[in-house]
């Protein structure tokens, strides 16, 4: 089901180069389609959005904006255990993200100069939530909670209607408990364009967050600059770092937990133990038989997965850093020992009982993570993702007089004489 590759400097490199091709440049046809949708929505507003809704979803929903009473009814009628599970998860997520709060500051210098930074939340954020077969209320929590903590004034959610034209009730429940302000039944690239430019009914937002298919991801990428986005996310990934103390059943289960997302999802085991590798292959074959997304899992593991066998733990750690996975599980004898050396990962799961789905739903750290090796330089979604910062300066005349010669010298060295003049003119009459 998964190929075994011995890390010799050549074979694993060839596998990783092949893997990288799955997240290459977006197909030109998709880009052309999305560009046309964006321009049509920009020109046509809600009428264009509704046209695409009918074209792609089959029929118009019974309402464009979901009435507040419908959202409240979804919460009141929801299964109590499900609501309580979301509330428990919400408590953990909020506790974690509350620790990410940032404060403005001011530095008052003895010469009367004031220097400072003002931090505040974005005014309005758009949240895209898939609503069809891939409806994830957990994504509502992971996106809306840090936005609220950051002080975002208004959260506008867009989510596609189900085939019968109604909203997914689980999504509405999550929206209700997170305090999402408005919900519109619209999906795809047309919903992203509506958020970016604004329509007669959908307000223009400052930032768009949330997962989606290739058309949604492409729309976000093309509209970056018109509006801010969280990140351009690729297929889901997991890398399990393990030695011979790992439980093969646990490792196999966790590899499949990501493989079920998509045939392009990547599940990789990096291990120092060939015995473990063989045992994991047996467990994969056994466990997959009872799983509902068996065909997707098997295709993902076969085409995008691999077991990379290393000579030593140090080599395995180095390889994990080179891959920079979205999710990194550490099934080593002393997992905490390696935390300080694992620099490139979206989220790190330490020990055999820190299974990746714990992070997806419940533990507290955000599950919106960098993919495709971008964990080398990108960070997970956080409270800071919804903040903007401005520096400010106050100078007295005396303080500027002390600094003017240096400023003028640098400005004139750069050939920017108007810059220099803006300083000199303030002392021309002295």
The pLDDT value given to residue 392: 97
Does the residue 160 lie in any domain? Answer: yes
Check the annotation: does 97 bind a ligand: no
279 found inside a domain? yes
Strands 387-394 and 124-128, sheet pairing: unpaired
Based on the fold, state whether residues 169 and 292 are members of the same structural domain.
no
Closest CA to 125 of 97, 100, 149: 149
- Does one domain contain both 128 and 267? no
Q: Are residues 251 and 210 part of one domain? A: no
327 is an annotated ligand-binding site residue: yes
For 279, left (φ over 0), alpha (ψ -120 to 50), or beta?
A: alpha
Range of the domain at 187: 28-110+119-229
Q: Are residues 32 and 174 in the same domain?
A: yes
Q: Which of 212, 229, 246 is the last residue of a domain?
A: 229
Residues 193, 57, single domain; the answer is: yes
Q: Identify whether residues 222 and 288 lie together within a single domain.
A: no
In a domain, 81, yes or no: yes
Residues 167 and 256 in one domain: no
What pLDDT is recorded for position 153? 97
Under 8 Å between Cβ of 373 and 324: yes
Q: What pLDDT, on a 0 to 100 scale, did the predictor assign at position 23?
A: 57
Residue 355 assigned to a binding site = no
- Residue 9 in any domain: the answer is no
Single out the residue in 229, 260, 277 at which a domain terminates: 229
How does pLDDT run along the chain (430 residues), one tens digit per residue?
Answer: 899 999 999 998 999 888 887 755 557 889 999 999 999 999 999 999 999 998 888 778 989 999 999 999 999 999 999 999 999 999 999 999 999 999 999 999 999 999 999 999 999 999 999 976 668 899 999 999 999 999 999 999 999 998 888 899 999 999 999 999 999 999 999 999 999 999 999 999 999 999 988 899 999 999 999 999 999 888 899 999 999 999 999 999 999 999 999 899 999 999 999 999 999 999 999 999 999 999 999 999 999 999 999 999 999 999 999 999 999 999 999 999 999 999 999 999 999 999 999 999 999 999 999 999 999 999 999 999 999 999 999 999 999 999 999 999 999 999 999 999 999 999 998 7
Strands 347-350 and 327-331: parallel
* pLDDT one-digit tens code per residue, 66-121: 999 999 999 999 999 999 999 999 999 999 999 999 999 999 999 999 999 999 99
Residue 213 annotated as binding? yes
Report d(CA 188, CA 131) in Å as an integer.
10
Whether residues 365 and 421 share a domain: the answer is no
Same domain? 206 vs 260: no
DSSP secondary structure string for all residues of 46-64:
HHHHHHHHHHHHSS--S-S
- Please state, as a whole number, how many other Cβ atoms lie within 10 Å of the Cβ of residue 406: 10
Instruction: Give the length of the chain.
Output: 430
Cβ-defined contacts of 20-23 (< 8 Å, 24+): 20/372, 20/373, 22/234, 22/235, 22/264, 22/266, 22/304, 23/234, 23/235, 23/371, 23/372
Tell me, yes or no, whether 253 and 350 share the same domain.
Answer: yes
Asked whether residue 290 is domain-assigned, the answer is: yes
DSSP 282-296: HHHHHHGGG-TTHHH
| Chain Cα centroid distance, residue 423 | 44
Question: What pLDDT is attached to residue 213?
Answer: 87
Residue 101 lies in a domain: yes
Instruction: Write the CATH number for 346.
Output: 3.40.50.1980
Give the count of domains, the chain: 3
- The pLDDT value recorded for residue 163 is 85
Identify whether residues 82 and 195 lie together within a single domain: yes
Q: Which residues are catalytic?
A: 326-327
Q: Is 392 helix (H, G, I), strand (E, B) or coil?
A: strand
Residue 360 labelled as part of a binding site: yes
Query: Looking at the structure, do residues 185 and 212 belong to the same domain, yes or no?
Result: yes
Domain boundary, last residue among 210, 229, 248:
229
258 is in an annotated binding site: yes
| 417 occurs within a structural domain | yes
> Would you say residue 264 lies in a domain?
yes
């Amino acid at each position: 089901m998964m190929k075994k590759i011995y890390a010799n400097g050549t074979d694993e490199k060839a596998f990783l180069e092949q893997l990288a091709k799955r997240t290459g440049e977006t197909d030109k046809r998709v880009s052309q389609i999305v560009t046309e949708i964006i321009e049509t929505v920009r020109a046509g507003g809600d009428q264009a959005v509704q046209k695409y809704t009918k074209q792609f979803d089959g029929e118009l929903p019974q309402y464009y904006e979901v009435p507040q009473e419908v959202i409240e009814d979804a919460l009141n009628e929801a299964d109590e255990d499900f609501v309580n599970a979301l509330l428990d998860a919400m408590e953990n997520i909020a506790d974690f993200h509350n620790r990410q709060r940032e404060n403005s500051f001011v530095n008052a210098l003895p010469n009367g100069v004031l220097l400072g930074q003002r931090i505040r939340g974005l005014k309005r954020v758009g949240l895209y939530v898939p609503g069809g077969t891939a409806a994830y209320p957990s994504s509502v929590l992971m996106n809306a909670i840090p936005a609220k903590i950051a002080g975002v004034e208004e959260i506008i959610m867009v989510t596609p209607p189900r085939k019968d034209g109604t909203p997914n009730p689980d999504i509405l429940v999550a929206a209700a408990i997170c305090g999402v302000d408005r919900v519109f039944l619209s999906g795809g690239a047309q919903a992203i364009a509506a958020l970016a430019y604004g329509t007669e009914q959908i307000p223009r937002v400052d930032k768009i967050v949330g997962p989606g298919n290739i058309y949604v991801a492409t729309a976000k990428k093309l509209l970056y600059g018109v509006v801010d986005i969280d990140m351009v996310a690729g297929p889901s990934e997991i890398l399990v770092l393990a030695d011979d103390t790992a439980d093969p059943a646990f490792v196999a289960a966790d590899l499949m937990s990501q493989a079920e997302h998509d045939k392009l999802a990547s599940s990789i085991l990096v291990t120092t133990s060939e015995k473990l590798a063989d045992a994991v292959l047996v467990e994969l074959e056994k466990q997959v038989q009872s799983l509902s997304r068996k065909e997707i899992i098997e295709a993902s593991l076969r085409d995008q997965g691999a077991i990379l066998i290393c000579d030593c733990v140090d080599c395995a750690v180095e390889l994990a850093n080179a891959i920079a996975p979205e999710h990194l599980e550490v099934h080593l004898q002393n997992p905490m020992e390696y935390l300080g050396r694992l620099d490139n990962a979206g989220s790190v799961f330490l020990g055999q009982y820190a299974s990746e789905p714990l992070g997806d739903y419940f533990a507290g750290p955000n599950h919106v993570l960098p993919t495709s090796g971008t964990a080398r330089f990108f960070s997970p979604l956080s409270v800071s993702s919804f903040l903007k910062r401005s520096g400010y300066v106050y100078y007295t005349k005396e303080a500027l007089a002390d600094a003017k010669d240096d400023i003028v010298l640098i400005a004139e060295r750069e050939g920017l004489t108007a810059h220099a003049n803006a300083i000199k003119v303030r002392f021309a009459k002295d």
